[in-house]
Amino acid sequence: MGVFGPVVNQGARLETMTKQFDLPICMDEPTAEYAKMYLPESEGRIRRLARVRPKGMDTPMTVYGLLPQTDQFAWVTDEVVADYDKALDLVTEGNWAGAIEVLNKLPDEDGPKHFLLRNMAEFDNTPPASWDGAFSLANK
């Protein structure tokens, strides 16, 4: 007997996204909101990553990352997160040139930065005509 269904599929997609974002844990929005309310920052931090449409799913979702305490990912400062959020808003709005400018200022160690840059490069850094603010992911 096994486990199946949409929740399991989404969980599997989130697990795969950890590699794409180069982060230890990815989560959906409801989980991130819960963690923001109850997880002390001394134990972990929540970071918005992107709006994506996982492979095999029709509905876009906002993905968040759970970062360890500040002593482990110390280069992910509040300023880095704020700049990334700004870049992500620009990506979502379709201002990819502005987003690239902001992203290029972030540390090279930042996996989410590289996720956005890779996905925009697949479209020659220009949002497609059908852009709805979410990247469709090709990998499960």
Cα separation, 2 vs 140, whole angstroms: 19
pLDDT surpasses 70 at 11: no
Cα separation, 12 vs 54, whole angstroms: 10
- In one letter, which amino acid is 93? E
Reduced to 3 states (helix: H, G, I; strand: E, B; else coil), residue 34 is helix
20, two tokens? 């794409």
Please check whether residue 88 is in contact with residue 50, taking contact to mean a CB–CB distance below 8 angstroms: yes
Average pLDDT for 109-125: 97
Among candidate residues 75, 102, 104, 105, the one with its CA nearest the CA of residue 89? 102
H-only helix segments in the chain: 6-21, 29-38, 78-93, 96-103, 111-121
Give the model confidence (pLDDT) of 73-104 as tens digits: 788 888 999 999 999 999 999 999 999 999 99
Q: Output the furthest CA–CA distance in the chain (Å, rounded).
A: 50
Whether this model's pTM surpasses 0.85: yes
Beta sheet of 25-27, edge-to-edge order = 25-27, 61-67, 45-53, 135-136
Pairing label, strands 25-27, 61-67: antiparallel
Give the model confidence (pLDDT) of 17-39 as tens digits: 889 999 989 999 999 999 999 99
pLDDT surpasses 60 at 3: no
